[in-house]
A and B are shown apart, each in its own frame.
Chain A
Amino acid sequence: DGGITQSPKYLFRKEGQNVTLSCEQNLNHDAMYWYRQDPGQGLRLIYYSQIVNDFQKGDIAEGYSVSREKKESFPLTVTSAQKNPTAFYLCASSIGTGKNTGELFFGEGSRLTVL
């Protein structure tokens, strides 16, 4: 079945450590996104990529980095510069071209806790 796979599901990190969250899709979608979810704040866009080897900052990119070396992969690194990294992180994809309406397909999420 086509879909988006995020790993790990749960992750614990000590302060000062970088951590990388994996996101893989087999939907053949061009565009991929990372959102952060905090209780009562909805989803906020961190980074997005519309094509391989290109990505753009979203609304809350500080302290995060991404890469898009392959169409199916869009990993997110939470760096030590992120002041409050404890959150639920959601990866998503969309068609990106053609009859694109912005509809997103989501992974199951990764919950990061900083100890």
Chain B
Amino acid sequence: AQSVTQLGSHVSVSEGALVLLRCNYSSSVPPYLFWYVQYPNQGLQLLLKYTTGATLVKGINGFEAEFKKSETSFHLTKPSAHMSDAAEYFCAVSDRISNSGYALNFGKGTSLLVTP
């Protein structure tokens, strides 16, 4: 089964600083990769996804991620953190469960704290 590992359960950055959240995947086939964001007591919202094509993917709220096959990584970055970016972030990889169906396998999440 495909899996992801998120390095660092908690990351703290200053407002205006670079955000870097790490994700490495394990997959026997070309993966579909996702980053989701979750605010307290809410569902998950898609930030961005990689399926095929360009390896640098841009998402909402100024986030982007780069698919690096050689490093089996899909790290999430944002040049300048904002207080509103404080949330839980999940990396996920598609896992084929049938001929046409997928489920997502999630990492354990990284909690981002943004300090003034």
Contact = CB atoms under 8 A, between A and B. Distances in A.
A97 B55 CA distance: 24
B102 A90 contact: no
B103 A48 contact: yes
B61 interface: no
Interface of A: 4, 6, 31, 33, 35, 40-43, 45, 48, 50, 56, 58, 88, 90, 92, 94, 96-97, 100-109, 111
Given A40-B9, A100-B100, A100-B102, A109 B41 contact: yes
Interface string B80-92: 0000000000100
Interface residues of B, number: 26
10 contacts: A40-B109, A42-B108, A43-B44, A48-B97, A101-B49, A102-B32, A102-B34, A103-B32, A105-B46, A109-B41
